[in-house]
Structure 1
Amino acid sequence: MKLRSSLGVLAIASLATALATPASALATPATAATGVESWQAALTGAGVDRVNVATEGQSVSLANPTFHPAAAAGTGGYALLTAAAHQLGHATETVRANVVSRTPAGTGVQLDVRGQTGQSSWTEWTPADAAHPARWDRPVTAVQARLTLTSNGQQKPSVSAVSLAADPALTKLAAVPAAAPVTSTVFATREGLVGGTTSNGHVITSNDHFVALPSGRGLSPKGTTTYSVHICNPGNGKCVTAPVWDVGPWNTKDDYWNPASQRQSWTDLPQGKPEAQAAYQNGYNGGHDQFGRKVSNPAGIDLADGTFRSDLGLADNGWVNVTYLWTSGTPAVNIDFASYQSLTTGSTGDQVKAVQFLLAQQGHDPGGQDGVFGANTATAVKQFQTAVGLSASGSVDSHTWTALLSAGSTPQLQQGSGGDDVKRLQRALTAALGRTVGIDGDFGSGTATAVRNYQTAAGLSSDGIVGPNTWSALQHGH
């Protein structure tokens, strides 16, 4: 058994000292002299999501070394730990990592990180290992870490520490023009496997609604819709939007929707073509998947029963058109409204879907995003209200809307700012003031006036600049 410490390549010598610092010190951002912010990802406690993870002393490992997700049969033991998101003191495009782990032969540990570019927009999960820091093409204001542990069915790896550090951003936060989302025509199969557990820890129910893709780069944390796809059945014209909650079929590192420069594996295949399809149709890789199994169909997406039968009306496996919504930063549901209605148990419609989406983003499971305000949604609302210090009524009024819509990072914004954070501010102001504030991502004079009006109503200094005090008031529903 060997001890492995995976340290990202360091651009400045002082970062090595920061990453070697005890956990208590890593919780505090590094000094302004370096501009580097360092922290340690918590492996236990609030906000940590665990799938088949056990705590062993000061380390985490697999609870069951033979457990595997429903769509990944025969690929060895699996565990997933997703740490709570870390809000940065400054924006960054580069995150460096240090993972201290024990990896017996035949086992593995992988660290992935993602960055938040707006309230409901995240980058894909990006590996951060000994040789390659995670880098993004735009600044992010929060970072989340995820560990994947794999066993050989008997021996297990373990992780005792995960340290991260963020370099200062080289470019200013600004609105980035949204590219058209990637769309591919791929072969869909029915996942089934009711009672099994998905890669993100969801227990599959009958008539369930989610999809599996053959890469964890687009895997949504449990109960969320951060990474969703829009699927259309060309045979009958039916379409549906569904979250990515499992990894499979066939491969686990085939993000075929990405260009070759970003694709994890099979970089000689054209963008949009799954490896399983190439193996089945063209004998690519000897007709095998990454595990050496003979590919028996060209599947590029697995569909849960409800998505397969009820939503798309499929009677058998077949070709569908899939749009990978996160590739353009498009939210899975609409959250932009000219006004935000009061909602309670029994309410229905698009604004209920928006509430369910926002609750899931904050880690409170509303029991789906079906647009029906039922008991599960009411419970999730109460949990959120308690978390932000509001009265736990279970109904959504202007205060709850304001807190939900403003949740996230707290960058300073002022006239001239732009981007997703400005949109988040404009939504929250629309709810808080009870009048429409244009949601265009442009902090112009109208938004500045709305900020001053809100600050006055909240008893704050009316300077038109959105700093920590204004964000705090919004995020507590004032």
Structure 2
Amino acid sequence: MHPSPVRRWPGATTIRPRGLPGHRRAALPFLLALLACTLVAPSPAAAGTRPVSDWHVDLTSTHGDQRNVAHGSGGTVTVEDPALRTPSADGRSFAVYTAPVVRLGRPLSSFTVRAVARIPAGSRLLVELRGSDHPDTWTEWREAKGADAVRLSREVSVVQVRLTFLGTPGGGAPTVSDLVVRATPRQPAPSPQAGVAAASGPTYRLFATREGLVGGTTANGHVIRERDHFVALPSRRMLASDGGREYRVRLCYKGRCETAPVWDVGPWNTRDDYWNPPAQRETWRDLPQGRPEAQAAFQNGYNGGLDEFGRRVANPAGIDVADGTFWDGLGMTGNDWVDVTFQPEDDGGGRTTVTAWADANVRSCASTECDRASTVSAGESYPANCWTIGQKVTAEGYTSDKWVQLPLNAGGVGYVSGIYLKGDATGGVTRQC
């Protein structure tokens, strides 16, 4: 019996153990040890104390966001149950593994990925990265393609990797045994607005269809429940974790609104991030921002009236809506046009409060040197006035000089570092003091 072939995922490292001359075989253990010393980065716990430039992705974690993943000996990961399917995988077996975060210890925005993977013919392995520069705030996911660098939209101090395994109808699936991420030697200069959140997300009028599919599995591994509340967008770039709300949209229909997380990929396409400007859009860059490819295909015969899979587009849908959001949240009775705001500041009504993700002191001025005036508690919300620039504070690998002014019960105001607030660097407060 011949061993299974090892196929290179684009940018992968292929190990070739046979055919080495004797003196090179003798030197191989030393070379492998040297390579390990060069590539292995500090653990995430240690990464907060010294800068990290390259690291092996942790493939061994059995916690966190993963679905249908089998962990093998030696730290390999692959599909566990080849019978599990999701519509976005086009009828193939499916698994998703999101690795633990790595704290970089410095701001970076550009990375390369090198993988050791066994990929049977007809299967696919998707490797994506995202980053964060403030707790609870992430860049969109970006796919690593071959040796090309993955450039995130802003400098980040925390990075996370997601693997999606798409097997063959016959059950063959990729197996990953190693994954190395490296910061590129030359980091692109950040734009003047890098890391600065917009006052509000863009709003588009989109044709919405009801997803249904109760009992099925979404692209992030969520099992759809009756009257569930989420949406699907035709790109993985804004696909949130199962149960997470890091990517969300606000839908409004005939006076009723609901903010829902993005837990699935569809309708029609899987690489159509139409909410991004054309220069940043993954595909269909000749379409204007805010116009889904399916809408252009249906209304104008764009791409011959076909989607990315060559199917005839039967409606102009740019968003799928789960039953609970469709019926209960919006009061819809049939597919129709809705107003959709991407990444809204809050879950509705305009943000006048902030929510702490950790216990923190409220100071009499925007510095830790000032007297403690009060405290905020993790998970609790508080009214907020405005934000200002103050002392830089570092916590959990993040650094920020933004402080938020809070009214105090005893009168007057106090200041809490935005590093301890959910959302962006100011906890979602848009008015500067």
TM-score range normalised by the length of the shorter chain: 0.7 to 0.9
User: 1:345 is matched with which residue?
Assistant: none
* 1:20–1:188 Cα change, 3 Å: farther
Aligned with residue 52 of structure 1, among 68, 73, 80: 68
8 Å Cα contact 1:248-1:302 kept in structure 2:
yes
Q: Which has the higher helix share?
A: 1
User: 1:475 is matched with which residue?
Assistant: none
Aligned with residue 8 of structure 2, among 4, 21, 25: 4
> Displacement, 1:143?
0.3
User: 2:286 is matched with which residue?
Assistant: 268
> Displacement, 1:66?
4.3
User: 1:153 is matched with which residue?
Assistant: 169
User: 1:64 is matched with which residue?
Assistant: 81
1:276-291 map, 5 Å: 276-291=294-309
Q: Letter of the 2:283 partner, please give it.
A: S
User: 2:238 is matched with which residue?
Assistant: 218
Give the Cα separation in 2 of the matches to 1:28 and 1:440.
Answer: 27
Kindly indicate whether residue 42 of structure 2 is the aligned counterpart of residue 27 of structure 1: yes
User: 1:321 is matched with which residue?
Assistant: 339
Structure with higher Rg: it is: 2
Q: Letter of the 2:340 partner, please give it.
A: V
Gaps spanning 5+ residues in structure 1: where? 9-16, 339-353, 360-397, 406-412, 443-478
* 1:85–1:62 Cα change, 3 Å: same
User: 1:362 is matched with which residue?
Assistant: none
User: 1:401 is matched with which residue?
Assistant: 377
SS at match of 2:106: strand
Report how many residues are paired.
362
User: 1:310 is matched with which residue?
Assistant: 328
SS at match of 1:245: strand
User: 1:206 is matched with which residue?
Assistant: 226
> Displacement, 1:244?
0.3
> Displacement, 1:404?
8.3
Q: Letter of the 2:150 partner, please give it.
A: A
Give the Cα separation in 2 of the matches to 1:83 and 1:175.
Answer: 23
Give the Cα separation in 2 of the matches to 1:18 and 1:261.
Answer: 43
Kindly indicate whether residue 136 of structure 2 is the aligned counterpart of residue 111 of structure 1: no
Gaps spanning 5+ residues in structure 2: where? 13-31, 359-373, 382-388, 420-433
> Displacement, 1:73?
6.9
> Displacement, 1:6?
4.4
Question: Residue by residue, what CA displacement relative to the aligned partner does 1:400-452 show, whole Å, maximum 9, x if unpaired?
Answer: 824889xxxxxxx963789x95488759x999x9995346969xxxxxxxxxx
Question: Residue by residue, what CA displacement relative to the aligned partner does 1:362-389 show, whole Å, maximum 9, x if unpaired?
Answer: xxxxxxxxxxxxxxxxxxxxxxxxxxxx
> Displacement, 1:81?
1.0
8 Å Cα contact 2:120-2:174 kept in structure 1:
yes
8 Å Cα contact 1:191-1:303 kept in structure 2:
yes
8 Å Cα contact 2:232-2:263 kept in structure 1:
yes
Give the Cα separation in 2 of the matches to 1:165 and 1:220.
Answer: 24
Aligned with residue 120 of structure 1, among 113, 133, 136: 136
Give the Cα separation in 2 of the matches to 1:67 and 1:208.
Answer: 20
Give the Cα separation in 1 of the matches to 2:326 and 2:40.
Answer: 50
Kindly indicate whether residue 222 of structure 2 is the aligned counterpart of residue 187 of structure 1: no
> Displacement, 1:219?
0.5
> Displacement, 1:25?
2.9
8 Å Cα contact 1:336-1:439 kept in structure 2:
no
Give the Cα separation in 1 of the matches to 2:417 and 2:160.
Answer: 27
Aligned CA RMSD, in angstroms, stands at: 4.0
User: 1:76 is matched with which residue?
Assistant: 92
Question: Residue by residue, what CA displacement relative to the aligned partner does 1:68-98 show, whole Å, maximum 9, x if unpaired?
Answer: 22x4374422221111111111111112211
> Displacement, 1:27?
3.1
Q: Letter of the 1:142 partner, please give it.
A: V
Q: Letter of the 2:264 partner, please give it.
A: D
> Displacement, 1:298?
1.3
SS at match of 1:72: helix
Give the Cα separation in 1 of the matches to 2:283 and 2:195.
Answer: 31
* 1:260–1:41 Cα change, 3 Å: same
Give the Cα separation in 1 of the matches to 2:142 and 2:379.
Answer: 30
User: 1:437 is matched with which residue?
Assistant: 414
